[in-house]
Amino acid sequence: MSIDFQPSERVESFRSRIEAFVAEHLMPIENDTSVRDDHENIRLDLLDELRAKARAQNLWCLQLPEQFGGQGLDKVGMTVCYEEMNRSIFGPAVFNSAAPDDGNMQVLAKVARPDQQERWLKPIVEGKVRSSIVMTEPMPGAGSDPSVMRTTATRQGDKWVIHGRKWFITGAGVAQHFILLARTSDDKRKGITAFLFDRDQPGWEIVRRIPIMGPEEHGGHCELLFDGLEIPDENRLMGVGDGLKMAQIRLGPARLTHCMRWLGLARRSLEIASAYVAERESFGSKLAAHEGVQWMMGEAAMQVQMARLLTLHAAWKLDQGDRAKSEISMAKTAVADALHKAVDTAIQLNGARGYSKDTVLEWIYRYARQARLVDGASEVHKMVLSSAVLAEGAAFWRWGA
């Protein structure tokens, strides 16, 4: 099977329509602080209006199979379109492709029973509710290593009772549907199970919205306390003990969709830098004519393109039915670094303007810092890669699929 990253006519049609939508509706409002909420994201009422426009233009949930109301793009097609969306800081939420709904929808479409899809997935696809994935715990609980999870689900007849504490749960402040991971036994591989619960169920609360350094997703990053939440067994996702399996199915593609979006932010940063250095006169010529500036732009563009190729390759492997574990780890680490490089370069080349709030660069700079942490810290992905290199030997370097 040969690798071909050339977008099909259909994908190119989506891409160009997203580009036009972003240029017409999103970029002109990004720097207007009145369109933002208290956490530097787009106001929810305005988001609803823009989402309605995106839906009317069929630019909605491109990532989901058509049977669930999506457009059925493959992962390579998604790479092309997600990058285009996130050239605006508000893009992914408008097209219903933002984390964590994006990953939650994709995993529910893959592993939930049809009745669960009707109850838990459909309202997210329709944009009626938002969702969260609830895994990480405060020390000494689950973080990089989920095997030390302390939140428990204890079976009582046909229900499960949850006790424990979670934190950094993105979107929990506005989410209605939650995917929760909890310990159901001490078995090393099969000790964790996934569940679905609704915001309106009693037995849990949001203790606090954790203040962070960057702009926030809607609903923030919250700390949750579970003190007797009861979940009927019918709301268990997959089998008892399949929690880590569910997490792997969700997290692989979700990590890659982070990469696709972050590439858009990296590109946008370099676009802002390009526009400035093409105009700004310094020491008798345009900034762009100075060799030092050219090296900075060239280096950053090269890193973004390398990270983009790694993302496309991982996407292509997923499209072939491969888990692409190593490829996703490489892409996740490289894109996080390329985004930092791109936005840092852009701020530097914009001089004082880069440090101001007159462009979106400072927003992207603060947002970017999470990229080396979320969905697996870079060091953990390198550990995974190292294990693969050592275990696979020459096979790690094989050509082709």
Ligand X SMILES: Cc1cc2nc3c(=O)[nH]c(=O)nc-3n(C[C@H](O)[C@H](O)[C@H](O)COP(=O)(O)OP(=O)(O)OC[C@H]3O[C@@H](n4cnc5c(N)ncnc54)[C@H](O)[C@@H]3O)c2cc1C
Please, what is the end-to-end C-alpha distance for the chain in angstroms?
A: 7
Q: Is 266 in the site for ligand X (CB under 6 A)?
A: no
The alpha carbons of the chain give a radius of gyration, in whole angstroms, of 21
Query: Could you tell me which stretch among 17-25, 79-87, 335-343, 375-383 binds ligand X (CB under 6 A)?
Result: 375-383
CB closer to ligand X, 165 vs 280: 165
Query: Could you tell me which stretch among 43-51, 126-134, 193-201, 302-310 binds ligand X (CB under 6 A)?
Result: 126-134
CB closer to ligand X, 288 vs 374: 374
Give CA–CA dist 374/400, Å, rounded. 30
Q: Is 374 in the site for ligand X (CB under 6 A)?
A: yes
- CA angle 26-372-275, nearest 5°? 40
Query: Could you tell me which stretch among 46-54, 117-125, 134-142, 231-239 binds ligand X (CB under 6 A)?
Result: 134-142
Select from 19, 136, 193, 40 the least CA-distant residue to 374. 136
Which residue of 15, 221, 261, 267 would you call a contact of ligand X, by CB under 6 A?
A: 221
Provide the total of helices (H) and of strands (E) in the chain, helices listed first: 13, 10
CB closer to ligand X, 77 vs 100: 100
Partners of 164 in beta bridges: 226
Give CA–CA dist 80/358, Å, rounded. 28
Q: Is 135 in the site for ligand X (CB under 6 A)?
A: yes
Give CA–CA dist 343/349, Å, rounded. 10
Q: Is 377 in the site for ligand X (CB under 6 A)?
A: yes
- CA angle 267-40-352, nearest 5°? 60
* Distance of closest approach, residue 298 Cβ to ligand X, in angstroms: 30
Q: Is 367 in the site for ligand X (CB under 6 A)?
A: no
CB closer to ligand X, 135 vs 300: 135
| DSSP tag of 9 | H
CB closer to ligand X, 7 vs 214: 214
Q: Are 378 and 282 in contact (CB under 8 A)?
A: no
Q: Is 332 in the site for ligand X (CB under 6 A)?
A: no
Query: Could you tell me which stretch among 64-72, 135-143, 275-283, 311-319 binds ligand X (CB under 6 A)?
Result: 135-143
How many alpha carbons lie under 13 Å from residue 196 in its C-beta half-sphere? 25
Chain residue at closest Cβ approach to ligand X: 143
* Contact residues: ligand X, CB under 6 A: 100, 132-136, 143-144, 168-170, 221, 370, 373-375, 377, 379-380, 383
